[in-house]
Each structure stands twice: as structure tokens, then as C-alpha cells.
């Protein structure tokens, strides 16, 4: 029952999310383990993948709009107030619990728990090996990678470089314990963690 099922089905990569935006389709098929016995009562990996994609889409489109309206500082305020309520709205819609969590979190409410940290470690190792991580179903939880693109670095990049000083100051005032800077592109920013029976 502890089997990890990797869904190779047109693997997707949640490139963005949070405040974020695009998604990349990986066509290559990787190892797939067939689960021993699937319960019909719970949504399967394909459905859960769509939930994560919908949350990503919702956050990404709004983030993009806020950046266009008033730059990253304006968008920061938006994410600060709305990121969690937006993912919660998708959770409610599908009666699951969708979270975005990270090992290097900005909002302490998004800190990964030990099971999530284990997935993060696995995904990072895959990226380091040049493999795109995929959605994964384990112990009634679905996980999907959140990978950075250039747009993310406006708020998650290196201070003084991609991350403007002004934006960084605002981040620090909103999140005094922020750990989520210093990222480059194509790095694991965090994961979607969906609890199937919340
Ligand atoms: C306009 C600034 C901004 C941009 C651009 C941005 N983020 Fe964020 N991000 C934030 C803020 C602010 C939070 C904290 C939200 C909260 O309080 O829930 C956050 C939180 C997150 C989280 C949740 C974990 C945590 O650290 O709290 C993830 C994952 C994340 N961002 C990924 C991304 C990715 C991937 C991109 C690019 C596709 C991106 N972000 C672009 C501002 C931004």
C-alpha cells in the first residue's frame, strides 16, 4: 500500500504557480508502477493532476495580471492576501485539500511537513539528474512539482539581481522570515500537496 505511483501520462510540470504562470509538457514517458488495487472512491492521479493545474492556472493568470497592472510590488500584495484563499477555493470545489508547500518557504504556513520534504528531496534529485519530476500519488496524497521560470525570479531570485531591492524590501516587511529567494530558473520552488481525504 506504500507504493509510489508515478503518472507518466503526459507528465506535466507545474511551472509556476503562486504566483505564477506557464506550464510545460514533458512528452517523454518514464517508469510507471501500476498501483496494486485502486479504490474507485478516490480521484485518480489524472484527475488530481487537473486539480493542481487548475489551481496553478488560477494563481498564474491573476499574478500575471497584477504584475502587468503595477509591477511585482503590486503583485506581492496580491499574493500575500490571495494566494492561500485561491488554492482553498479549488480545494472546496473538489472536496480535497490543496496546498503549495516548500522547504524554503516564504509564508511559514506553506512549510513542508516531513512527508512533503521527502517528495521535495526526490524531485530535486530528479532535476539534478536532468529529469523532469512528475505528479506522484502516495499514501492518499498527490504531489506535483512547482518549477521556476524567469518570471518567478522577480520575487524569488537573487536580491539586487533579478529581485529588485525595492521588491525585496517589501517582501521582507511582509515576510520577515522569508527563505524563498536566491532561485534560478528550472529549480524546484516547491510542490503542490493534495490530500485526497481531508
Ligand atoms: C510578485 C511576486 C511573486 C512572483 C512573480 C512569484 N511569486 Fe511565488 N510567492 C510570492 C509570495 C508573496 C508568496 C507567499 C504567498 C503567501 O503568503 O501565501 C509566494 C509563495 C510561493 C509558493 C508557496 C510556498 C512559499 O514559499 O510560501 C510557491 C510554491 C511559489 N511562490 C512559487 C512561485 C513560482 C514557481 C513563481 C513563478 C512562476 C512565483 N512563485 C512567482 C510572490 C511571488
C-alpha cell at 161: 539581481
Distance between Cα 155 and ligand 1 center (Å):
7
Distance between Cα 4 and ligand 1 center (Å):
28
User: Domain residues of the chain, as ranges?
Assistant: 10-28+42-195
**Mutate which of 22, 102, 106 for ligand 1 pocket (most atoms within 8 A of beta carbon):** 106
Distance between Cα 38 and ligand 1 center (Å):
34
Global pTM value: 0.83
Query: What is the distance between the alpha carbons of residues 171 and 179, in angstroms, rounded to a whole number?
Result: 10
Query: What is the distance between the alpha carbons of residues 58 and 153, in angstroms, rounded to a whole number?
Result: 19
Question: Do the beta carbons of residue 146 and residue 185 sit within 8 Å?
Answer: no
Closest ligand 1 atom to residue 75 Cα is 1
What string of pLDDT tens digits covers the 198 residues of the chain? 444 444 433 334 444 344 543 333 333 333 334 344 444 456 888 999 999 999 999 999 999 999 999 999 989 999 999 999 999 999 999 999 999 999 999 999 999 999 999 999 999 999 999 999 999 999 999 999 999 999 999 999 999 999 999 999 999 999 999 999 999 999 999 999 999 976
Amino acid at each position: 500500500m506504500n507504493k509510489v505511483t508515478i503518472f507518466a501520462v503526459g507528465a506535466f510540470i507545474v511551472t509556476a504557480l503562486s504566483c505564477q504562470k506557464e506550464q510545460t509538457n514533458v512528452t517523454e514517458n518514464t517508469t510507471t508502477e501500476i498501483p496494486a488495487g485502486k479504490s474507485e472512491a478516490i480521484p485518480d492521479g489524472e484527475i488530481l493532476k487537473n486539480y493542481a493545474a487548475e489551481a496553478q492556472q488560477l494563481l498564474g493568470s491573476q499574478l500575471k495580471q497584477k504584475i502587468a497592472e503595477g509591477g511585482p510590488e503590486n503583485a506581492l500584495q496580491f499574493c500575500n492576501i490571495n494566494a492561500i484563499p485561491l488554492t482553498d477555493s479549488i480545494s472546496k470545489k473538489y472536496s480535497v485539500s490543496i496546498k503549495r508547500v516548500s522547504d524554503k518557504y516564504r509564508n511559514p504556513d506553506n512549510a513542508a511537513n516531513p512527508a512533503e520534504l521527502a517528495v521535495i528531496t526526490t524531485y530535486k534529485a530528479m532535476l539534478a539528474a536532468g529529469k523532469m519530476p512528475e505528479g506522484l500519488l502516495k499514501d492518499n496524497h498527490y504531489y506535483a512539482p512547482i518549477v521556476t521560470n524567469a518570471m518567478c525570479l522577480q520575487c524569488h531570485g537573487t536580491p539586487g539581481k533579478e529581485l529588485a531591492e525595492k521588491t525585496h524590501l517589501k517582501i521582507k516587511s511582509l515576510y520577515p522570515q522569508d527563505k524563498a529567494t536566491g532561485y534560478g530558473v528550472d529549480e524546484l520552488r516547491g510542490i503542490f500537496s493534495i490530500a485526497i481525504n481531508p
